[in-house]
Amino acid sequence: MIIFSSIFLVSSLVGFFFIAIIFYGDIHDLGKIVKFIFSGRLTHAKSYSEQAIARSVWIVLSMMIGGMGLAITGAVSQSLTNNSLADASTLGTINATIFLLVISFAIG
């Protein structure tokens, strides 16, 4: 059961990743996006459309990593406090995340 749920989670994350890339911005060609991702040019985009794809990919990846991090901190706080209703804000994780985001935006 755990293997099925983890496979379902990974496949749904990959699906949501591609859906988010398709609907973020003005680029809607899934074949071009997949080819660009697996070509290894995410950090060396040359044309404007490749730069837009690379920017969209990194934005979606950072949102997914942030969401996974908050999910992990929520699970850790639930296990530390032995409270099934505890979430990531119980130990101040969300406030620290917001603080670090503000600092990173201020620095540039």
Give pLDDT tens digits for 66-103. 888 877 877 888 888 888 887 767 777 778 888 888 88
The answer to whether the CB of 97 falls within 8 A of the CB of 70 is yes
CA trace torsion 101, 88, 11, 16 (10° rounding)? -50
CA separation for the pair 71, 60 (Å, rounded): 16
How confident is the model over 6-52, as pLDDT tens digits? 676 777 777 777 777 666 655 556 677 777 777 777 777 777 777 77
What's the token pair of residue 48? 């404007």
Q: Which domain holds residue 45?
A: 2-107
Going 17 to 23 to 25 to 26, the CA torsion angle's sign is positive
Give me the number of domains the chain comprises. 1
Give the predicted TM-score (pTM) of the model: 0.54
